[in-house]
Structure 1
Amino acid sequence: MADRFPPAVSSAALSVQRENALNVHHALPEEVPVAMVFDASTLAVMMASPADIEDFARGFAITEGVITDPCQIEKFEIADHPAGIEARFWLSEDRRDALAARRRLLAGPVGCGLCGIDSLAEAIRPLPQVADDGLRLSRDQVAGATDLLRDLQPLHNQTRATHAAGFLVPGQGIVLAREDVGRHNALDKLIGAMSRQGIDPASGAFVMTSRLSVELVQKCAIAGCPAIIAVSAPTAHALRLAEDAGITLIALARNGGFSIFTHPERIQTKVSDVA
């Protein structure tokens, strides 16, 4: 699979600058169709980077509510085809009703989390409440989170065209990171990798290189992570969801500063009110 679908390819281009034009080569991130197949039936087709496919598939299964525990996966395999990749699951019998409830055909650019949804109600489905299990982050830990993540993005360094998601643990920094052309996919890959490695999402915060959309907050809540930090701004609806779900939402985290929008009790810093 790695030979057929490398994470990046070299492409020729004509670089036109103010004083000259040069023939150059650019590294471009690859994206391929990835079919999520459960019990021999396709649930979704996502466009994604071809690296860390098992992490992506497992994270997708968790955040879509197909599984609630890794032990519900009886068998998993990856099959590559000329047109793309299949991530194949065989599930325990008790998950088949849940799978039927979530069944949809989803095909959209760069893994849009809402493309192809059958019912508008699915876009605003109720989220679980994230408990306050004692996570506390210092001001310096939050302020430096996106800088730490920047050092863990080899595909972005090569292509300048991918997003990343990382997991920040107090006293340890970012312990795990994943990249993808889509921010939703990057977070699914991270959640899947954490599940495989037995890392508890309640023990830290997600860190994103993107804006904070509804889908990212939904994935955060379903995974049970109490905080999410991003370099860009949230949408208004994402903020409302985070407030209701008990998630600490921190955005605009760059250049040593950040803004706390919801549940500031998890951040150990005194904030002055500014009119």
Structure 2
Amino acid sequence: MTTQQRSATVHVHRVAPGEPRARAASPTLDAVAVEEPLEIRLDGHALAVVMRTPGDDEDLVRGFLLTEGVVLRPSEVRAVEFGEDAVADARLADGVVVDIEQFSRNLFVSSSCGVCGKASIEAVELLAPRAPQFPVRRDVIAGATDRLGELQPTFEETGGLHAAGIFDLDGRALVVREDIGRHNAVDKAIGALGAEGWPLPPALLVVSGRQSFEIVQKAAMARLGGVVGVSAPSSLAVELAQQLGLLLAGFARGDRFNVYAGAERLDG
């Protein structure tokens, strides 16, 4: 049976220059982020096994199904049922038909790379809609990652979690979620906000790490207008953002940031 603990206590040997050997040999207690598997099913059919930090699992499942294109809107998932063996079974709403064989992966989704078994980048590009083209204030981007960092309680405890937040155009956090996998944190945030209403309001995805192709794809599938991160994007992330019209900003720290796509949408 899965736990809902987000952190665990382990013994650690702290080693530093000049540290007495006897002291380094004496373990102390430290907190680390929990990582556990969760099997996602759709009407009883296995889709994927994700390695995630427990907590907000229903948000994770709903966001995963939406950002992977399994469903087109949150209302297509009637309920998410949880078993005792780390299994989450998403139940489709009446009248919703999904080609289970098309989406069945039966693959292992790691906490670092997400769905590493995607067969076709081109197929993802065709599926993702073009981003809404609203203007974005510079000060909202400049302060986004700092505000996100203030809303990461488990990271403060463990130093081992990523965070993803969805921020409105005034820079207010609509939702923030943490997970050991950056893509899981994104799915949790999108799943949580999508359950409150669809489509999402004009907003930006803000992440605590780098912006990979998959992160930009998930933002596009959720019809968000852009992605802001504390680190650099990948080449494929930049290419996808340009193709889909997303604003993509990296190295957003303090009052500085780099814009890799959508610079024409900056306002103020």
* Alignment TM-score, normalising by the size of structure 1: 0.88
Which SS does the other structure have where 2:115 is aligned? coil
**Matched residue, 1:193:** 192
**Matched residue, 2:18:** 19
Letter in 2 for 1:78: F
**Matched residue, 1:273:** none
**How far 1:266 moved relative to its partner?**
2.4
**Matched residue, 2:117:** 116
Which SS does the other structure have where 1:250 is aligned? strand
RMSD over aligned CA atoms reads 2.0
Structure 2 distance, partners of 1:176, 1:74, is: 22
Which SS does the other structure have where 2:160 is aligned? coil
* Alignment TM-score, normalising by the size of structure 2: 0.91
Structure 2 distance, partners of 1:211, 1:75, is: 32
Kindly tell me: are residues 75 and 139 of structure 1, through their superposed partners in 2, closer, same or farther at Cα, counting changes over 3 Å?
Answer: closer
Find out whether 1:261 has 2:265 as its counterpart.
Answer: no
Once the two structures are superposed, the pairs formed by residues 110-149 of structure 1 within 5 Å of their partners are 110=111, 112-117=113-118, 119-121=119-121, 124-126=124-126, 127-132=128-133, 134=134, 136-149=135-148
Once the two structures are superposed, the pairs formed by residues 198-237 of structure 1 within 5 Å of their partners are 198=197, 200-237=199-236
Structure 2 distance, partners of 1:203, 1:60, is: 20
Kindly tell me: are residues 199 and 209 of structure 1, through their superposed partners in 2, closer, same or farther at Cα, counting changes over 3 Å?
Answer: farther
Structure 2 distance, partners of 1:7, 1:124, is: 31
Deviations 1:235-255 (A, max 9, x none): 111101000001000111013
Residues 114 and 181 in structure 2, CA contact (< 8 A), matched pair in contact too: no
Deviations 1:21-68 (A, max 9, x none): 253111010011111110111100010000110000000010111111
Structure 1, unpaired ranges of 5+: 270-275
**How far 1:79 moved relative to its partner?**
1.9
Tell me which of 46, 49, 55 is aligned to 1:45. Answer: 49
**Matched residue, 1:54:** 58
Deviations 1:211-248 (A, max 9, x none): 11000111111110011100000111110100000100
Q: How many residues align?
A: 262
**Matched residue, 1:92:** 93
Letter in 1 for 2:180: V
Kindly tell me: are residues 121 and 211 of structure 1, through their superposed partners in 2, closer, same or farther at Cα, counting changes over 3 Å?
Answer: closer
Greater alpha carbon shift after TM alignment, 214-223 vs 105-114: 105-114
Greater alpha carbon shift after TM alignment, 66-75 vs 246-255: 66-75
Which SS does the other structure have where 1:80 is aligned? coil
What percentage of residue pairs aligned between the two structures are identical? 34
Which SS does the other structure have where 1:197 is aligned? coil
Kindly tell me: are residues 244 and 173 of structure 1, through their superposed partners in 2, closer, same or farther at Cα, counting changes over 3 Å?
Answer: same
